[in-house]
């Protein structure tokens, strides 16, 4: 079945959530690990592109799930939603991991320019011409749909690192630029986890048996696919210089809304709930954020999601001035001036490409007597402090967090 392009609107997200809800309990627990191929992923929610940009919020997804299922029967799904928070929170404590990744990526991109062998091997991998049939199919699925099943992401990254022996950060970059849910925390840290850099020394090895067990209908219907005998039987952990110590979280205090304020939506958080009735709404959508550009599919998805959020904002806050998409700090400053804004509110920007520009924006606004005020969603404020070690430290807190959010 040829998958349709994923619509980026909130209406589409709510429809997808509604369609998935009956399957979010024991069915999800039983079937979620199966990779059935493009257009056949109904055993998982497919909500990640929407959750990634907060077209829908984690709280509303869990609220809808818990309306139909008990916490016990939806435990697996709830855990997965919190895996995302775990990665986000963990990277907040270790911002150096993101800057180190970017630095290594630039180094590897330079190596690709100068080393023809590496360039050819990368080219084969990202265009699906390695001869390892499942790997090639995943590369093509990613490029044509912007999505891969979680298990496929694990197998793909493991084969990239341990069989093809390519630099992990080039694979992570390939994912980040092509996934509709491409996320600095979930993506970078999952690649690091597979490589043995997250849980030191513990790697993930893709095996033919495991691929057959969970993707048999996709790849084994006519016998074993080509190339699986080439898979590495070893996954020796990558090593790196020790990371700097974790930094304490420093989240801004809750803010009180004041008049004369504007709301700045970003691709990190398009959820239309803010502690103010804004005088003006705009969308910050920087044009270039990677050393290499995102795929057309990803750019189109983000643009549509942003426009849809602006339209939603018009209905939600009819008093606010017509919003527009702004791509640079000077444009935001002009917008603040034009509407005589004393304050610009924005949902917290977690570690990633955009967070690196927040200090510049704050200063530029101060220069025109406007303050940047940042609010943090309760979901993040509750979860991130528990993301300092392994996931299970955070998991233990889930019942308490659900209760604090009024969801239990
Ligand atoms: C190498 C690698 C790279 C990844 N890169 C990303 C990425 O860039 N962005 C991203 O959102 N996820 C990433 N993941 C996690 C996971 O694969 C996707 O979130 C999941 O496949 C999305 O599909 P879904 O919405 O159908 O998930 P479901 O199974 O329906 O899960 C529901 C939601 O929980 C969250 N979630 C589920 N599994 C995970 C997980 N393992 N880690 C973090 N959150 C999870 C997602 O928000 C997802 O929408 C990556 C995993 C690996 C192994």
pLDDT at 259 > cutoff 80: no
Q: How far is the CA of 187 from the centre of ligand 1 (A)?
A: 8
Is the residue at 246 inside a domain?
Answer: no
Is the residue at 54 inside a domain?
Answer: yes
Q: Which residues pair with 262 in a beta bridge?
A: 280, 344
Q: What share of the chain is helix, strand, coil (3-state, %, to 5)?
A: 55, 5, 40
Query: Averaged over 184-209, what is the pLDDT?
Result: 97
Share of the chain above pLDDT 70, in %: 99
Ligand 1, atom 21, lies closest to the CA of 150
Ligand 1 pocket test: pick from 6, 13, 69, 80 the residue with the most ligand atoms within 8 Å of its Cβ. Answer: 80
For helices 184-195 and 150-158, what crossing angle results, to 10°?
50
283 shares a domain with 297: yes
**pLDDT score of 292:** 87
pTM for this model (two decimals): 0.97
**pLDDT per residue over 168-196, tens digit each?**
999 999 999 999 999 999 999 999 999 99
Is the residue at 4 inside a domain?
Answer: no
3-state secondary structure of 298: helix
Atom of ligand 1 nearest to the CA of 50: 49
**pLDDT score of 408:** 86
Looking at 214, 230, 246, the residue that finishes a domain is 230
**pLDDT per residue over 294-322, tens digit each?**
999 999 999 999 999 999 999 999 999 87
pLDDT at 237 > cutoff 70: yes
List the CATH number of the domain containing 330: 3.40.50.620
Q: What are phi and psi of 240, to 5 degrees?
A: -150, 165
3-state secondary structure of 165: coil
Is the residue at 318 inside a domain?
Answer: yes
298 shares a domain with 226: no
Is the residue at 172 inside a domain?
Answer: yes
Total domain count, the chain: 3
Rounded CA separation 30/204 (Å) = 21
Is the residue at 238 inside a domain?
Answer: no
337 shares a domain with 294: yes
198 shares a domain with 123: yes
**pLDDT score of 4:** 56
Q: Which residues pair with 221 in a beta bridge?
A: 223
**pLDDT per residue over 1-33, tens digit each?**
444 578 999 999 999 999 999 999 999 999 999
- Residues across the chain: 408
Is the residue at 163 inside a domain?
Answer: yes
When computed from its CA atoms, the radius of gyration of the chain, rounded to whole angstroms, is 22
286 shares a domain with 177: no
For helices 358-366 and 329-338, what crossing angle results, to 10°?
40
Query: Averaged over 352-380, what is the pLDDT?
Result: 95
* pLDDT-derived band at 290, boundaries 50, 70, 90: confident
**pLDDT score of 219:** 97
Q: How far is the CA of 150 from the centre of ligand 1 (A)?
A: 6
Q: Which residues line ligand 1 (CB under 6 A)?
A: 32, 44-48, 51-52, 80-81, 83-84, 87, 149-150, 153-154, 157, 175, 179, 181-183, 186-187, 190-191, 194
**pLDDT per residue over 119-141, tens digit each?**
999 999 999 999 999 999 999 99
List the CATH number of the domain containing 154: 1.10.579.10
**pLDDT per residue over 41-63, tens digit each?**
999 999 999 999 999 999 999 99
pLDDT at 365 > cutoff 50: yes
Looking at 209, 230, 251, the residue that finishes a domain is 230
**pLDDT score of 1:** 41
Residue-number span of the structural domain to which 398 is assigned? 10-92+384-404
Query: Averaged over 377-406, what is the pLDDT?
Result: 97
pLDDT at 266 > cutoff 60: yes
35 shares a domain with 14: yes
359 shares a domain with 393: no
3-state secondary structure of 321: strand
If one counts every other C-beta atom within 10 angstroms of the C-beta of residue 183, the result is: 24
List the CATH number of the domain containing 75: 1.25.40
Q: How far is the CA of 224 from the centre of ligand 1 (A)?
A: 27
Atom of ligand 1 nearest to the CA of 184: 8
Q: What is the mean pLDDT of the chain?
A: 95
Is the residue at 249 inside a domain?
Answer: no
């Amino acid at each position: 079945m040829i998958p349709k392009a994923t619509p980026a609107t909130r209406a589409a997200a709510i429809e997808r959530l509604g369609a998935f809800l009956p399957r979010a309990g024991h069915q999800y627990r039983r079937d979620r690990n199966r990779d059935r191929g493009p257009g056949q992923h109904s055993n998982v929610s497919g909500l990640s592109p929407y959750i990634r940009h907060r077209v829908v919020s984690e709280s509303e997804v869990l609220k809808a799930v818990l309306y139909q299922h008990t916490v016990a029967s939806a435990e697996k799904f709830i855990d997965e939603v919190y895996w995302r928070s775990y990665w986000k929170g963990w990277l907040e404590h270790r911002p150096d991991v993101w800057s180190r990744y970017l630095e290594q990526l630039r180094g590897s991109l330079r190596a690709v320019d100068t080393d023809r062998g590496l360039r050819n091997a990368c080219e084969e991998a990202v265009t699906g011409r390695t001869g390892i049939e499942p790997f090639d199919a995943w590369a093509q699925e990613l490029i044509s749909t912007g999505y891969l099943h979680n298990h496929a992401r694990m197998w793909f990254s493991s084969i990239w690192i341990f069989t093809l022996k390519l630099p992990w950060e080039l694979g992570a970059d390939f994912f980040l630029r092509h996934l509709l849910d491409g996320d600095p925390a979930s993506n970078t840290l999952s690649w690091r986890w597979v490589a043995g850099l997250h849980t030191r020394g513990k790697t993930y090895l893709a095996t033919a048996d495991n691929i057959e067990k969970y993707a048999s209908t996709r790849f084994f219907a006519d016998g074993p696919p080509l190339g699986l005998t080439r898979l590495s039987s070893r996954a020796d952990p990558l090593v790196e210089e020790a990371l700097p110590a974790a930094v304490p979280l420093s989240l801004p205090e809750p803010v009180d809304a004041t008049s004369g304020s504007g709301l700045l939506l970003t691709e990190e958080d398009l959820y239309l709930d803010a502690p103010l009735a804004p005088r003006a709404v705009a969308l910050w959508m920087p044009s270039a954020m990677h050393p290499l550009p995102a795929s057309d599919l990803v750019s189109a998805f983000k643009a549509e999601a942003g426009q849809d959020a602006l339209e939603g904002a018009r209905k939600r806050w009819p008093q606010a001035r017509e919003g527009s998409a702004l791509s640079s700090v000077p444009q935001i400053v002009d917008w603040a001036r034009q509407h005589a804004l004393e304050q610009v509110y924005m949902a917290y920007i977690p570690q990633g490409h955009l967070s690196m520009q927040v200090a510049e924006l704050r200063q530029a606004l101060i220069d025109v007597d406007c303050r940047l005020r940042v609010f943090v969603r309760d979901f993040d404020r509750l979860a991130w402090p528990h993301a300092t070690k392994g996931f299970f430290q955070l998991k233990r807190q889930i019942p308490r967090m659900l209760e604090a959010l009024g969801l239990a």
